[in-house]
Structure 1
Amino acid sequence: MQSKLVASRDIIICYNRSAGITFPIPSHRKVLLEELGFMAESEPTLPGFDEILPRKPAAALAVIEAALRLSRPGENGRPEARTAVIVDYAEMLAPAADLAHMSSQDRTVLTTLQRWAVDREIITLGSPVFLITENLADVHPVLRSASSRIEAIQVPLPDTATRETYITGLCEKYAEVPLEGITVPQMARLTAGLKRLHLEDIFLRAEVDGMPVTSQLVKERKRDIIASEFGEVLQIIEPETDFSHIGGMEHIKNFFRRSVIKPLQDGNSRRCPMGILLPGPAGTGKTILAEAVAKESGINCCMLNLGKIMDKWVGSSEANLDKALQCIEALSPTIVIVDEIDQSGLSRDNSGDSGVSNRLFKRLLEFMSDTRHRGSVVFVGLTNRPDKMDAALKRPGRFDKKVPVLPPEAGERADIFRVMLRKYQIENNLKDQELVMVAEATEGYTGAEIEALVLKASEVAEDAGVRSVDMEHLRYALDVYRPTTRDIEVMTRLALEECNDLDLLPPAYREKLAEKRNIKKLQKQEGRQRRTM
């Protein structure tokens, strides 16, 4: 940005609270001092130790304002600006603090920045002032409001093409640090969500350790960087589970193949839903299903923890959400898993926290319903209690599809038994007919409870000194294991009520609902006939 401004301005001023007023072009200091009626015999030796130009914000901004009013004759005879100003770490000058708790000097600085934005002379001259901050939410709200006349320009995280170009340059810069087992395009895809600074950090780490850059190093550094940047708010997931690890749910798998995976791979954004809500009882496999969709589609996957966004510090909650949403955009195409979305604590009705939850909720709704994200960001919400979610969050355009994930039927339970035995590499001599018998005896069990039952049978066999699990071990496990099936019926009913497309229901449930509808129609017809008699 500085190089662009040099061509059109005589004076480029940079300012921050630590270094004070500095100049990217040293000669610009002399020009400014002469224009303001000062003369300096020597240049400052260290940033922040200028003997003439003040460093404290209020005094420094007064000097900068005088510079903003300097003009020169333009081509058409009208005066034009000579000065451009870059204020770095703007959040340190005008933090997102409560006005009542700001010092007198901080309020003076805030007022000065507000005044510059509406000053006719500065606007007429066209003297630009750039306020630089890492997170917009860290800057005081009055400077972010629409009436401030300050335009917010979001600088996005580098996309895949930009990262690939930058990594190519880093390979030349760090020629002694080779890539091993990974290509530049592969590294560009793996580093989605990282800044240029983070990319160079990976090469520096490899250089210090005397090691090549490998995919393992990239994944480890990315995990550490994301954790330090976002804490528990956003987690990058590297799914290892695909549909072959999930028993049953064939109708749901087929839905995801047709409406999510294939459209994402083909770039068919029109077919891809903005979001998918997976309501259903606990333990039915909602989380593993969402991760498997990301694995099958081959795109990025992250988990957004809305419950961790709230912070006790003023402005921190908004900053947490803004950073997370910016990273999600950089990760696109991506699947965003929101677990226990009904317990996020965000809604339109929350008024006990000075409106913070309301503002966060509104920002989230705006992001989720932004049609520019269709086909690149797919939200997958997981919930046991959809009735506790705000209606605005559940509407089409945010969660277009609502797919109930219900306790498995007998045939699906037998399939889950097979998957769990294979998952844990449990030796067994169980026949298909025996698994079907056990499946029929586990009516109402969820996938998580079947998993616990299989592990219990394995423990029984191991305690008996037997390597292979047989039917007797499963029968014993079935006798002693007590499933936590409480509330499953209620959660199943809520999930069914939430479904907005009968094609998304298991065949058995679809038939039951059709029967109920037919009965209701007959009852209505009989009622009308009685009234006419």
Structure 2
Amino acid sequence: MKQEMSLREEVSLMIKSRYPLIYVVSWEGSRVRKELAEIAQESKKQSYFWDVVSGWVDANGHRVNLDAPIQEGTAKKKVSNVEVESAQRAVDGILHTASQPCEAKGRLFILTDFEEYLENGYVRGAMRKCAEKFPYDGHDTIILVSSVMKIPDAMSKDVTIVDAKMPDYRELREHFEKFVESLPEEAKVDLTEDDRETLVKAALGLTLSEAENAFAKAVVQNKRLSRDDVQLILEEKKQIVRKSGSLEYLESKVGFDAVGGMDLLRDWLKKRKHSLNEDAKEFGIPNAKGVLLLGTQGTGKSLICKTLGDLLERPVLRLDLGSLMSKWLGESENNMRKALDAASSCSPAILFLDELEKGFSGMQESGDSGTSSRVLSFFLSWMQDNEKPVFVVATCNDFRKLPPELLRKGRFDEIFFIDLPSRQEREDIFRVHLELRHRDPSEFEVEKLAQRTIGFSGAEIEQVVISGLYDAYDEKRELTSDDMINNIESSIPMSRTMSEKIQALRDWAT
């Protein structure tokens, strides 16, 4: 199996191949710039770094003058925005410097957070001019570094995109050991080899600086660093994942036992619980890809997903598909890439996609220049190629709105149709919701309630219990079976109002 190249290897190869314009997407600008400086040193190239605050500096941070001489008849417009003017001078400096003899074996021009200025016509034109000239006139390369990807349509064919992956276990472990060595003597470090491995694995999914901040917080808070700090690191991790905008840590208040019925699905999931472990791989079992739960609203699909972390003992990350979409060329795909990279870095984990059809429906008729199709294509490729233990669990209310690619055999390990609950399952659901509200199910006519709720979904049964509690509380007495029966009689279940749609789902599933 071909080993994935590191950032340094990939960028080095592109530079040697005379790629003129490279765009590195990373949350760790300082780490990337350090690696680029080392690449320049190894390849005996001169490196120049630019940002809007410092202007041009060399690898040691010393100011350098790359300003081009002012020429008459320049096509550059005067601008009132100081930042844009600085960006214009920066590209002028690149063009001027690249035209001069170079004692080194070429130059790297590294610009940080430059994407906003690419919308300026002069800046964009100068960049494209460099992209045309550099492969033939020398060994110079422009490298843009940013945490977001914004590429104007006019430059889409000129730029090569490189995604800097989150640090892996090896990188985090090296950084962790350096952090421990730097601690003062009064800070107690009580860690076995197993403890160190556990702490570092807990930090997977964080950048190097975020991981160091989490370790430092543990030391400051507890005056020591021990295995007990795993939970603190996980809390920091949750905050950082939430800030991503598209991924959210889900913490269910109830366990998987709160899901009533669905014995077939329960058994299937329990068999795959241990397939995420290392010994399962040695036995020859591949990582479980995931499961698609198809069914009408209110049948408990989302509850299963939210509580699955309790069964599989994995964190649940919900991916908001709507938040991925952007008007900028390539940014929607990049948002999906970053979200999936973060999920992979947090592995073993569960990736939850709710109401899949809303995120991926109608792609053939999409008027977004193919963005939705490219996002779907990237997601499907990731599902096919991903080797990290990330279990995807998705829900869908209407299979007719899903692209056929998602329903192809082998995309998910299994597709389950979640039908309206049977009589026995309705009994189980009543018991679950009564127990959740501190009531003893044996004190209620559960069998009678189940018989009266033919065609009710799990969510509708829950509402029957809640409405009964409201009635009892209003009359300052305890809840009775009659309270719930009265609410059953006044309710019209969705199975009556949406009978054709539900039957269509059943027909497809069978």
- Name the TM-score, length of structure 1 as normaliser: 0.72
Distance in structure 1 (CA, Å) of the matches to 2:224 and 2:345: 26
SS in 1 for 2:477: coil
Structure 1 portions without partners, runs of 5+: 37-52, 73-80, 95-101, 500-512, 514-533
**Structure 1 residues 211 and 315, CA gap change in structure 2 (3 angstroms):** farther
Offset of residue 61 of structure 1:
0.7
Q: Which residue of 2 aligns with 1:291?
A: 306
Matched, 1:475 2:448: no
Matched, 1:70 2:102: yes
Q: Which residue of 2 aligns with 1:88?
A: 112
SS in 1 for 2:418: coil
Which string of whole-angstrom CA distances, capped at 9 and with x for unpartnered residues, describes residues 17-54 of structure 1?
Answer: 44222112479969x99xx9xxxxxxxxxxxxxxxx99
SS in 1 for 2:243: helix
Which of 480, 505, 510 is the equivalent residue of 1:495?
505
Matched, 1:444 2:455: yes
**Structure 1 residues 10 and 27, CA gap change in structure 2 (3 angstroms):** farther
Which of 100, 105, 117 is the equivalent residue of 2:122?
105
**Structure 1 residues 3 and 308, CA gap change in structure 2 (3 angstroms):** closer
Which string of whole-angstrom CA distances, capped at 9 and with x for unpartnered residues, describes residues 281-334 of structure 1?
Answer: 111110121233333222232111212322355654344323223222322332
**Structure 1 residues 264 and 406, CA gap change in structure 2 (3 angstroms):** same
Q: Which residue of 2 aligns with 1:21?
A: 56
Q: Which residue of 2 aligns with 1:384?
A: 397
Distance in structure 1 (CA, Å) of the matches to 2:187 and 2:507: 58
Matched, 1:466 2:477: yes
Structure 1 counterpart of 2:502, one-letter code: T
Which string of whole-angstrom CA distances, capped at 9 and with x for unpartnered residues, describes residues 94-152 of structure 1?
Answer: 4xxxxxxx4331222321342255x23425xxx555432324x324466664xx5x654
Distance in structure 2 (CA, Å) of the matches to 1:463 and 1:64: 81
Offset of residue 88 of structure 1:
2.9
Matched, 1:122 2:138: yes
Structure 2 counterpart of 1:16, one-letter code: D
Distance in structure 2 (CA, Å) of the matches to 1:284 and 1:10: 62
Distance in structure 2 (CA, Å) of the matches to 1:326 and 1:157: 7
Q: Which residue of 1 aligns with 2:207?
A: 195
Which string of whole-angstrom CA distances, capped at 9 and with x for unpartnered residues, describes residues 327-355 of structure 1?
Answer: 22322332221111111255432342333
Q: Which residue of 2 aligns with 1:225?
A: 240
Count of aligned residue pairs for this structure pair: 449
Offset of residue 384 of structure 1:
0.9
Q: Does structure 1 retain, via aligned residues, the 8 Å contact 2:427–2:449?
A: yes
Offset of residue 453 of structure 1:
1.6
Distance in structure 1 (CA, Å) of the matches to 2:460 and 2:49: 62
Structure 2 counterpart of 1:263, one-letter code: S
SS in 2 for 1:15: strand
Matched, 1:412 2:425: yes
Structure 2 counterpart of 1:285, one-letter code: G
Q: Which residue of 1 aligns with 2:276?
A: 264
Distance in structure 1 (CA, Å) of the matches to 2:52 and 2:377: 33
Distance in structure 2 (CA, Å) of the matches to 1:192 and 1:410: 45
Which string of whole-angstrom CA distances, capped at 9 and with x for unpartnered residues, describes residues 184-211 of structure 1?
Answer: 5454444443212222343566788899
Which string of whole-angstrom CA distances, capped at 9 and with x for unpartnered residues, describes residues 38-97 of structure 1?
Answer: xxxxxxxxxxxxxxx998123211244146x5256xxxxxxxx15444333353454xxx
Matched, 1:358 2:393: no
Distance in structure 2 (CA, Å) of the matches to 1:397 and 1:16: 47
* CA RMSD across the alignment: 3.8
**Structure 1 residues 211 and 493, CA gap change in structure 2 (3 angstroms):** farther
Q: Does structure 2 retain, via aligned residues, the 8 Å contact 1:261–1:293?
A: no
Q: Which residue of 2 aligns with 1:309?
A: 324
Q: Does structure 2 retain, via aligned residues, the 8 Å contact 1:12–1:25?
A: no
Q: Does structure 1 retain, via aligned residues, the 8 Å contact 2:112–2:146?
A: yes
Distance in structure 2 (CA, Å) of the matches to 1:228 and 1:65: 40
Distance in structure 1 (CA, Å) of the matches to 2:454 and 2:410: 36
SS in 2 for 1:381: strand
Which of 156, 163, 172 is the equivalent residue of 1:163?
172
Distance in structure 2 (CA, Å) of the matches to 1:395 and 1:161: 36
Q: Does structure 1 retain, via aligned residues, the 8 Å contact 2:362–2:401?
A: no
Which of 334, 349, 360 is the equivalent residue of 2:349?
334
SS in 2 for 1:12: strand
Structure 2 portions without partners, runs of 5+: 1-34, 70-85
SS in 2 for 1:299: coil
Distance in structure 1 (CA, Å) of the matches to 2:452 and 2:407: 36
Q: Does structure 1 retain, via aligned residues, the 8 Å contact 2:308–2:316?
A: no
Distance in structure 2 (CA, Å) of the matches to 1:340 and 1:178: 48
Q: Does structure 2 retain, via aligned residues, the 8 Å contact 1:278–1:404?
A: yes
Distance in structure 2 (CA, Å) of the matches to 1:103 and 1:93: 6
Structure 1 counterpart of 2:58, one-letter code: F
Q: Which residue of 1 aligns with 2:150?
A: 138
- Aligned identity (percent) is 22
Offset of residue 492 of structure 1:
3.5
**Structure 1 residues 16 and 225, CA gap change in structure 2 (3 angstroms):** same
Q: Does structure 2 retain, via aligned residues, the 8 Å contact 1:445–1:485?
A: yes
SS in 1 for 2:469: helix
SS in 2 for 1:445: coil
SS in 2 for 1:317: helix
SS in 2 for 1:86: strand
**Structure 1 residues 161 and 491, CA gap change in structure 2 (3 angstroms):** farther
Offset of residue 257 of structure 1:
1.9
Structure 1 counterpart of 2:206, one-letter code: L
**Structure 1 residues 210 and 272, CA gap change in structure 2 (3 angstroms):** closer
Structure 1 counterpart of 2:165, one-letter code: P
SS in 2 for 1:344: helix
**Structure 1 residues 375 and 85, CA gap change in structure 2 (3 angstroms):** closer
